[in-house]
Structure 1
Amino acid sequence: MTSVLLVPVKRLTLAKTRLDVPASDRYRVARALMRNTLRTAAHAAGGTSLAVVTADEEVSAFAAGLGAGVVLDTTADLNSALEQGLNELIAADAARSVTVLVADLALLSPADVHWLHREATATSQPKHVSDQAGTGTTAVVLPAGHRVPMVFGPSSAERFRSSGCLPLDGAPLGLRADLDTLTDLRRLGIPAA
């Protein structure tokens, strides 16, 4: 059975809108987070392939340079883009498992990606990783033959649970520490200015 790590990335100019800083700073933060997440995932993927779903040309070029597959996002929002990416990946190989990983994990390490891969290969049910606050979601594991609706966004952990996607407990901090707001910056010990 093959597996793929799918990372959705918004257009960098439209990302991090909940981060209350000037647009140019949001762009720089989104770009740095994306590059860190994709670089870490690519180097730690092992037997898992990496794919990115995005409409952003800069992101596409960066991902391709890492050897990742790129699914061109033709939709209007992140969850629709993920559904599109999942449809394309599963159409190409219905026997593959897919793990969705958000692109804004400031502390992501290769060990975190290895942990996620181990957990993904050990489960036969859809599971999700909650963010550090316990309300959002940073990863969703979909074993071959399983799908749940993509419902990322504020308070998504409960929506994933309600759709039958069980919590994946014990995730390391690097998989839970996403960066969406100034509160997240402070929680991670990063100065806002």
Structure 2
Amino acid sequence: MDEATWAVVLPVKRLHVAKSRLRGALPGVPHESLALALALDTAAAVLSCPPVAELVAVTDDPIVGRALARLGARVVPDDPRDGLNAAFAHGATAAGAGRPVAALAADLPALRPEELASALQTARARSFVADAPGTGTVLLTAPPGTALDPRFGPDSAAAHRRSGALPMAGHWPTLRRDVDTATDLAAAALLGVGPATDALIGESHAGNGRDLRPADAVRDCAAG
């Protein structure tokens, strides 16, 4: 599965309800702008990943849809009443049969394409990558002919393991670094976030009259 055959499914909520625990993490920056930036940087990394043939973005937010389509994603509509796992399953169906499919979290602003490529090339069965704390899931993969069967949500790493998915143990710090809180954003910034998120970090701290490097700025924000 080393060729450019993978379809990656990326659900994104409506911006006004997305990433609620991040609200206020960057003073002076609209929350919706930060939620969108996380998704854009994640999508850009996916689209730069050699094994990926297609990015299927699942969303009912028109702003998100237009922005991801401009990057090169195929956007399919979502019904937010059905929840995250239904969105992943819908995207996998839209990707079509006969190709490997990966479900990816949309809040990975530090993601490096080479780390995603390494994880996809490692996957040989239905597998998952846990997040940095080890309790959540950032990536779930399924080979052709195998149902994705997503179990995202609280303690999803354990849920995926119970469902028969195999844990992948590679050293992929930027893949494992999802962002739910200001502290997570600080950790991502130390790894080096993508341009959309980096610009907002700089904008926030410039607006506060502070001359700090972006990683220092967001780390200070998380601490205070």
153-162 vs 180-189, greater mean Cα deviation = 180-189
Pair 78,45 (structure 1): closer, same or farther in 2 beyond 3 Å: farther
- Checking the alignment, whether the CA contact within 8 Å between 2:39 and 2:109 is kept in structure 1 is no
Which residue identity is paired with 1:109? R
- Checking the alignment, whether the CA contact within 8 Å between 1:4 and 1:99 is kept in structure 2 is yes
The corresponding residue for 1:138 is: 138
Which residue identity is paired with 1:161? R
C-alpha deviation, 1:86, in angstroms: 1.6
Distance 2:176 2:88 in 1: 19
For the pair 1:176 / 2:176, whether they are aligned, the reply is: yes
- Checking the alignment, whether the CA contact within 8 Å between 1:148 and 1:164 is kept in structure 2 is no
- Checking the alignment, whether the CA contact within 8 Å between 1:83 and 1:150 is kept in structure 2 is yes
Distance 1:30 1:45 in 2: 26
Distance 1:148 1:158 in 2: 16
Pair 103,8 (structure 1): closer, same or farther in 2 beyond 3 Å: same
SS state at 1:44 partner:
coil
The corresponding residue for 1:82 is: 88
Question: What are the ranges of 5 or more consecutive residues in structure 1 without an aligned counterpart?
Answer: none
For the pair 1:18 / 2:21, whether they are aligned, the reply is: yes
The corresponding residue for 2:69 is: 64
Distance 2:15 2:163 in 1: 29
The corresponding residue for 1:3 is: 6
Q: TM-score, normalised by structure 2?
A: 0.75
The corresponding residue for 2:115 is: 112
Distance 2:185 2:122 in 1: 28
The alignment covers a number of residue pairs equal to: 187
SS state at 2:48 partner:
helix
CA RMSD of aligned residues (A): 2.2
The superposition leaves residues 40-92 of structure 1 with CA deviations (integer Å, 9 ceiling, x where unpaired) of 111224452211111111121122212221111124221111122122223xx
Which residue identity is paired with 1:7? L
Q: What percentage of aligned pairs have identical amino acids?
A: 37
The corresponding residue for 2:160 is: 160
The corresponding residue for 1:100 is: 103
List structure 1 segments (4+ residues) > 6 angstroms apart after TM superposition: none
Larger of the two Rg values belongs to structure: 2
Distance 1:163 1:134 in 2: 17
Pair 61,111 (structure 1): closer, same or farther in 2 beyond 3 Å: same
Distance 2:87 2:52 in 1: 24
C-alpha deviation, 1:97, in angstroms: 0.9
Pair 95,167 (structure 1): closer, same or farther in 2 beyond 3 Å: same
- Checking the alignment, whether the CA contact within 8 Å between 1:129 and 1:171 is kept in structure 2 is no
Distance 1:13 1:22 in 2: 15
